[in-house]
Structure 1
Amino acid sequence: MKKTVKIIIAIVILAIVIATTMIIQKFFVTNRPPTADAGHDLYVDPGQPVIFNGISYDTDGKIVLEEWDFDGDGKFDWNSTATSSPPTYTFFEPNRSYRAVYRVTDNGGLSSSDICNVYVEPIPLFSMIMEKTNFSTSEPINVTISLKNLKNRSIFMSAPSFGFGNVGFTIIDSNLRILKRRDIIIPGIPEIIKLAPHQTVTYTITNLQLSYNLTLGKYLIKAWYFSGMGEVIPNQWVGTLYSEMCTITIKDTT
């Protein structure tokens, strides 16, 4: 009798072990890791916010956590449980590349990662050269503007017109107060300039009437320009606004 009981107990224990093993095996077989897709590589301008669009799915469960390490430093800067805002990051240093990491975790605790390369492009060169720096109160100014595309792709450049012209200038006094914003239409300069990779264009602006009605003293002349990928939809551009400044002196020549 005792021998029979021992046999039954052994059979029960064996059945429990087999069942438990089967459950564990079934769990690990069916709980496959999720899939993460960080998207295509990105080319961005410095200072321009970037929205990352990762895609993920899990065939045998659900995604419970999404994370982004934007600059590849090993620290995840964004996760889906902490905020409802889209994953957004701004890169400021030009001419650099980063490996953004997208990681997702499923409800079974398994995770997967994918990489998105981010290339922060160089800032296009913009130079503004004054023919001279000393002017009388009624003397026009001659300016040479040069635009150079340092990128390996075509870009669009333009000084913002504020709705009135194709080159924008701002005059600032020594206390950094804006005295005058001048938008002018200059013959021969297109409103939007398309530059091929590494192309340079130069324009000379003559008789620019900026110094009129200014009192004696030193001033900063700031010329604004826009660099970007072009018009995505009518009147809405993707790009970055930059500026260049020169110092002039208005003096009494009488």
Structure 2
Amino acid sequence: MSDGGYLGGFQGMGPLVPRPEGLSGDPGRAGENALDRDARHGVNRRDVTHPLLSTSVWGKAWRVALGALAVWLLALLGSVLAFADGRFEYFAPRPLGSVALIALPPVGCTVLAVALARLLERLAAPTQALVFGLAAYVAAVLLSAFSQLAWADAGVGCLAGEPCLTDFWQTTAFAALIFVPVIVLGAIAYALARTSVTTRGRWAFVGALALALLATAVFAVTGLTSSV
């Protein structure tokens, strides 16, 4: 006997309606796998569709480098004005030290961006920025500690005379304390890099970088004219 178009040959069940399928071909889970959503890890839909995921590792790296440069220049100039009476030589008395002081944080953030690229892709957006900031903080403390080992006669505050910190563990503990703001700076730098691939975020990214470069140029010109 024909079922007359009804499900399973039972009367009164209504017409046969096919089960919906997602784009992945998995029946009964419409849309869940449409964008390769990994339900086991709870990946947020916005993170899956974020344009940053279509950017190469090196594309992310140079964005993080410029974001870190902008954030670091603004933070460094603010520190010089607030704690060093506008004298940059207080933090870096030699030209080579000045170059290293400016270049090391962006370079370090670039290395971290490459090393952590795959890990960060698995995390939600706020967690990505926080993890990157914590990684930058740990790297800064370790770099300070190993610098103390490499230059045993160096120390914190020794240019100003005694007392100064020359012991390895004292220097490391001091670095762990003063580098806490690096967590925030690294998180902001990564957030800037992340938003730079969107239409609105690109303006914030370019604006922050332009402001940092302009402030640095004004500071440099003011310092040169005042020393003449």
**TM-score class, shorter:** under 0.3
TM-score, normalised relative to structure 1: 0.24
Query: Which protein, 1 or 2, shows the higher relative CO under an 8 Å CA cutoff with sep ≥ 6?
Result: 2
Answer 1 or 2: which has greater helix percent: 2
Structure number with higher strand proportion: 1
